[in-house]
Amino acid sequence: MKNQVYAARKKPKQHVKGAAKVYRGAVNMPDQNLSELLFNEQKEATRAKDRFRLTVIRMLRSELQNSAIAKKAPLDADEELTILTLEVKRREESLQEFEKSGRQDLIDDLKEEIAMLKKYLPEQLGEDELERMIREAIAEAGAETKREMGKVMSLIMPRVKGRANGTLVRKKVEDVLK
């Protein structure tokens, strides 16, 4: 009886209040924002006693919460996506460092974390689709030389945000503008 009363009173904490945009990034993601999705995933990981998954989800939720606190307002879907891509990028950079030092135990853990975080990202653009979008942006900007690359990048990056690596986009733009 005590546990039932306690469970009835206990409600999940709503850390960031406010109306956030609906997050429709990844392929199999329901129509909810990333914070809500992570909260539900955290509950599932807790029930399944999956400590590794729980740790990664808690870290990501913590990062989102810290950013919302720093902003002093709820995060919208674009800001959540930006934070998620930064976390993936940090881990990929760490992975390179661990590979240089030969730390196989850390390499395996990081690869798992990266795979887990990438499932929350939108589907990545293919080479052909990315090149088509770059050519459209070049035509729209009227760019012909590498000097006008800034115009093209300012047009293309908002379109591919979260769906393509910025370094890859820059290299492709350089190749097309040669």
Task: Report pLDDT digits (tens) over 54-98.
Answer: 999 999 999 999 999 999 999 888 889 889 989 999 999 999 999
- Domain spans in the chain, listed from the N-terminal domain onward: 13-118, 127-177
Domain 13-118 in this protein, CATH class: mainly alpha
- What is the sign of the dihedral through the CA atoms of 136, 138, 141 and 144? negative
Tell me: domain 127-177, CATH 3.40.50.720, correct?
no
Nearest CA-CA partner of 110 in 59, 151, 144, 34: 59
pTM over 0.85: no
Per-residue confidence of the chain (178 residues) as pLDDT tens digits?
Answer: 555 555 555 554 544 444 344 444 444 444 568 888 999 999 999 999 999 999 999 999 999 999 999 999 998 888 898 899 899 999 999 999 999 998 898 999 999 999 999 998 888 888 889 899 998 998 998 888 888 888 889 999 888 887 888 888 899 888 888 7
Nearest CA-CA partner of 134 in 120, 106, 163, 155: 155
